[in-house]
Structure 1
Amino acid sequence: MPTNAPTVLDARTLGRATLARQLLLDRADMPALDAVAHLCGLQAQEPQEPFVGLWSRLRAFAPGALCDLLVERRVVRTHLMRRTIHLVTAEDALAWRSRHDAMLRQRVLGVYRRDLDGVDLDELAAAGRAVLADGEPRTMAELTRAVADRWPAPPPRALGEMLIGGLVPMVQVPPRGLWRTKAGVRNAPLSSWLGRDIDPPSPDGSDPVGQSLLRRYLAAYGPAATADLRAWSGLAGLPAAVAAARAELVSFRDERGRELLDLPEAPRPDPDTPAPVRFLPAFDNAILGYDDRSRIIDDAHRGLSVAGERVVLVDGRVAATWSVEKEVEKETVLVTPLRPFSRAEHAEVEEEGGALAAFLSDGTSERVRVDARLPR
């Protein structure tokens, strides 16, 4: 083998790097806003899940801190990576949205192309913006009713998804996404909600946003392959951005032989570094942010994250699912193992689960039940 062959990083080494980058190896002492920025946002189609995601990553996280950020418009809920709702900083939403426009439109068309056949999308976007010009947030139903006379043939759902998820950059306004608040989705244009214009594409055809996304992704998810970057962002691999930044990066290989790129000074802890138990929310990007998720979850359990199961990390890997049950007006965290636990692992899962129960119940419950039945 050539002496200059890239170092091979096994799954355990990659897993520890992932935990370190994702603030899951040690809880971080940083404000919630900085954590949202570092993580490149949190997936948030389930409105309450980002609170658990930040609690698992930050010391002394208080739900009110994230609520304040939403109300103060410093973070927003918007369609972005993979056309899923993400909770991102206002700055990142404005900087990144134009780079995602084509992908967002194409993903909606991938579902509704036949329904929208013959609809001039530029005209539809202009009509939607005109309806929203008064600054009043609207539900999808209200928006589609306002343009239905002009496009009576397409199903309202197709028009609404294209307007909100593909054409007009929107935010889901509070109280949607606030702690313990059930509220329907009301949408407002991103630029009017924040009082600032979205950053336009680079006029010279270069891709500075793509390069920023690459560096930010590696800081929070690396070492990673370009296929992982594509799986996280939904963008087509950002080849020009990768080529432009390659001289600044270091290269490794995984056990499959894929090239992994990384920032030179980013943390890559010793694979024997102890990894504490962590409870992850549904659809957490620590799992979904990769094409190859074997660094943190076995292939046999890969479907759990896509299905929206909440999972428990034990020794840095998905080893259980968790849910919350109400029993006699007390909330209990129910843990269902995917493999047998050692006595020490069982104790650590119970301790961390009790802390989660206290967080979810404002300190009124620390009840945890670990299901002794294991899947066959």
Structure 2
Amino acid sequence: MTVGPAEARRLSWAQVRARRLAWHGLAEPLKGAGPADVASAMAGTHAQMMSAAELGIALRMDGATRADVREAVWGEHSLIKTFGPRGTVHLLPARELPMWVGALSALPRPSSPHADGVRMAPEQSEQVIAAVGDALRDAELTIDELTEEVVARTGPWAGDLVMPAFQGMWPRWRQSMHEAGIRGLLCFGAGRGRKVTYTSPRRFLPGFAAEEPEAALRGVVRSYLRAYGPSTPQRFAHWLNAPATWASELFASLEAELERVEVEGVDAPQWLAPDASASAFAVPRPRDVAADVPRGVRLLPYFDVYAYRVGNQPPALLYPGRASERVLRGNFQVLLVDGEVAGLWHQRRSGRRIEVTVEPLAPLSRARRSALDDQVARVGEILEARPTLTIGEVTVGGHA
């Protein structure tokens, strides 16, 4: 039964933060969780920087290190590194890859941002995507090797160096690379020395096939709302880089399966998803943590705060005071205190030592300073190094 507006549960901002911390394994580690379970609880883990993804996942587990996350990706393949929401690199649970591919393949496609002379025609894109799938079916190729295979299967036009990229130019075909990933034809393979390789997820997951779009989209909405709810169709659309109107229609079609809530300080109605009926690890139910007060000091790695903040409203409450000026506009590693951004941090590694610099934006109490010491020690454990802590200004820019 759909919950009517008059019956909507009301949540304070503190309750929303408590729920988010608990669900994301930031109040305490997710009991019994492995790396794939953590990525599932986060609705995918951003992995543009693998070192950040390794730290972010291990922080949410009890006693894990980066080696455990690497084994999940490159050894047992319970995590797949591929292109996920917004076409960005993510770690996705292998068991959920059919859902993700089915849903992402069904999203409305935006217009190409590339100029005439660079942009491929739709039929050319399809040729490239088919060529990528064919080339990687039984192989693990570097980007240069994959370029040769794609050009051989399509034509010289695919290899034209027309796409500005960093300090050089990329071949034309690469504008469809992320599309091959979200269709389940490409994922990352093991590194070959310092070179990245790509392969087919079917080499890791025999019998892999995309889930039917309607069921897959329902699953992704529920996964998103468990990780980031309460939230809105508009926020969901932004997270997926999809049209807001399309997202509103999708939420409307699922309204009977969702719970409407009202959040302190937010005019728009918000939505939550029911919990999974069964789980191999202990994830708190939203109602169980609704009355809790958010507590804890955490050091989140690069990109992790994006995962934590999606759906949180309004940003001024998540980035109070100086945080809105110092942290909000850049991709920094952040100090999280009681579920709010309270500073930033940076680490510099030298052999087996890590120098951690933390810049709090407000004085830390004795208890919070002790909790920060514990968190720095945990970061050192995860990164398999001996950490030292300096309280001072972080002088590097975002994503440094």
TM-score of the superposed pair, with normalisation by structure 1:
0.83
Deviation, structure 1 residue 199: 1.4
Asked if the contact 1:131–1:143 (Cα under 8 Å) also holds between the matched residues in 2, the reply is yes
Q: Which amino acid aligns with 2:300?
A: L
Which residue identity does 1:170 align to in structure 2?
Answer: L
Alignment of 1:273 onto 2:293? yes
- Post-superposition Cα deviations, 1:177-231, rounded to whole Å, max 9, x if no partner, equal xxxxx743211123344223331544xxxx2211111112222221212222223
Residue range with higher mean Cα deviation, 64-73 or 211-220: 64-73
Instruction: Tell me which of 264, 269, 274 is aligned to 1:259.
Output: 269
How far is the alpha carbon of 1:131 from its aligned partner? 3.2
Partner deviation per Cα, 1:255-290 (whole Å, 9 max, x = no partner): 130111113564253566241111111111433533
Instruction: Name the amino acid aligned to 2:186.
Output: M
Q: Secondary structure at the match of 2:49?
A: coil
Q: Deviations over 1:327-374 (max 9, x none)?
A: 696212111122332333223222321332233234xx2411111799
CA distance in 1, matches of 2:70, 2:344: 27
Name the counterpart of 1:78: 82
Q: Which amino acid aligns with 1:267?
A: P
**In 2, are the aligned partners of 1:140 and 1:187 still within 8 Å (CA)?**
yes
Give, in whole Å, the separation in 2 of the partners of 1:296 and 1:56.
20
Q: For 2:318, what is the secondary structure of its paired residue?
A: coil
Amino acid at match of 2:390: R
Aligned length: 360
Give ranges in structure 1 of 5+ residues lacking alignment. Answer: 177-181
TM-score, normalised to structure 2's length?
0.78
Whether contact under 8 Å (1:98, 1:199) holds in the other structure is yes
Give distance in 1, aligned partners of 2:105 and 2:97: 12
Match of 2:251 in 1: 242
Match of 2:348 among 315, 321, 325: 325
Equivalent residue for 1:122, pick from 106, 120, 126: 126
Q: Give RMSD over aligned pairs.
A: 3.2
- CA pair 189-11 structure 1, distance change in 2 beyond 3 A: same
Verify the 8 A CA contact 2:352 2:384 in the aligned structure 1.
no
Q: State the one-letter code of the partner of 1:4.
A: A
When residues 329 and 49 of structure 1 are mapped into structure 2, their CA distance, relative to the original with a 3 A threshold, is: closer
1:1-376 mapped onto 2 (5 Å cutoff): 4=6, 6-29=8-31, 30-70=33-73, 71-101=75-105, 103=107, 106=110, 109-111=112-114, 115-118=118-121, 120-133=124-137, 135-148=138-151, 149-151=155-157, 153=160, 155=162, 157=170, 159-167=172-180, 169-175=185-191, 183-199=194-210, 201-202=212-213, 207-236=214-243, 238-254=247-263, 255-263=265-273, 266-268=285-287, 269-270=289-290, 273-284=293-304, 285-287=306-308, 289-290=310-311, 292=313, 294=315, 296-298=318-320, 301=324, 304=327, 307-326=330-349, 330-362=353-385, 365-371=386-392
Residues 1:302 and 1:17: Cα distance change in structure 2 (over 3 Å): farther
CA separation in 2, counterparts of 1:314 and 1:264?
27
Percent same amino acid among aligned pairs? 21
Instruction: State the distance in 2 between where 1:346 and 1:272 align.
Output: 22
> What SS is found at the alignment partner of 1:336?
strand
1:235 and 1:328 map into 2 onto residues whose CA distance is 43
